[in-house]
Amino acid sequence: MKSNKSILLVEDDPNFGRILKDYLTINNYDVSLAVNGIEGFEKFNRSEFDLCILDIMMPFKDGLTLAREIREVNDVIPLIFLTAKNLKDDVLKGYKIGADDYLTKPFDSEILLAKIKSILNRKPNVNVEEKDVFEFDFGDFNFNSKLRILTHKEGESYKLSPKENQLLKMLVLNFDDLLPRDIALNKIWRDANYFTSRSMDVYIAKLRKYLDKDKSLKIINVHGEGFRLMQE
């Protein structure tokens, strides 16, 4: 009937990795095991997973770096970190990147299983459409959010920075509608406070500069609420 959920497990300790993989397999998950961050990222790109379990401490490319790369491509897939005991800093970094959970080694396998179930049982992510759209036309512009390039019909192309790119994408996806400040902050900056908010304002200013080439486009502010990309 329903095909098993698939998990990407990235763990450098071959013994432990093997055991964990077997345990999860017995419990009806399809597990793909990678032994370091580099291999992990390759596997991640080769197939579709429902969940990633990443060891933080790994040679070549650690779990946090790998997580960042994964998040650049996919900002919905759940991430669980494995961390050695009491590395609070790693845990906090993990959450900042967008982790869903973490476990400190050694951990209880049943609890891991419960966590996995809990995470996978959440409402299936609604935005089916949002997933693959990365090219947009609006005003005199073409915008490729995968390549992070914004092109004006007549002339210039701009290479957007990651943050510029994310913010513009959210604005475009909400074209002519309100993009609430909090939503953008929590999605792009993963935190909403005074400083991230100021940072967002700076990026709005940058985007306005780009969009200035088409005088009909405007990013207007709704005081206290957010921003709205519109064409008059």
Partner DNA sequence: AGTATACATTAACATTTCATTAAGAAAGTT
Partner DNA sequence: AACTTTCTTAATGAAATGTTAATGTATACT
Q: In terms of CB distance, is 84 or 114 closer to a second copy?
A: 114
Strands, sheet with 135-138, edge to edge from the N-terminal-most edge strand: 135-138, 141-144, 149-152, 157-159
The CA distances from residue 98 to 107, 124, 161, 217, in Å, are 21, 18, 19, 32
Q: In terms of CB distance, is 21 or 169 closer to DNA?
A: 169
Is residue 84 part of the contact set for a second copy (CB under 8 A)? Answer: no
Residues 92-151 that bind a second copy (CB under 8 A): 92, 95-96, 98-101, 108, 110-111, 114-115, 117-118, 121-123, 125-126, 146-148
Angle at 159 between CA 220 and CA 170, to 5 degrees: 40
Residue count, binding to a second copy (CB under 8 A): 42
Q: In terms of CB distance, is 61 or 190 closer to a second copy?
A: 190
Q: How far is the CB of 75 from DNA (least distance, A)?
A: 14
One-letter-per-residue 3-state SS of 31-93: EEEECCHHHHHHHHHHCCCCEEEEECCCCCCCHHHHHHHHHHHCCCCCEEEEECCCCHHHHHH
Binding positions for a second copy, rule: CB under 8 A? 1-2, 88, 91-92, 95-96, 98-101, 108, 110-111, 114-115, 117-118, 121-123, 125-126, 146-148, 161-162, 177-178, 180-182, 186-187, 190-191, 222-225, 228
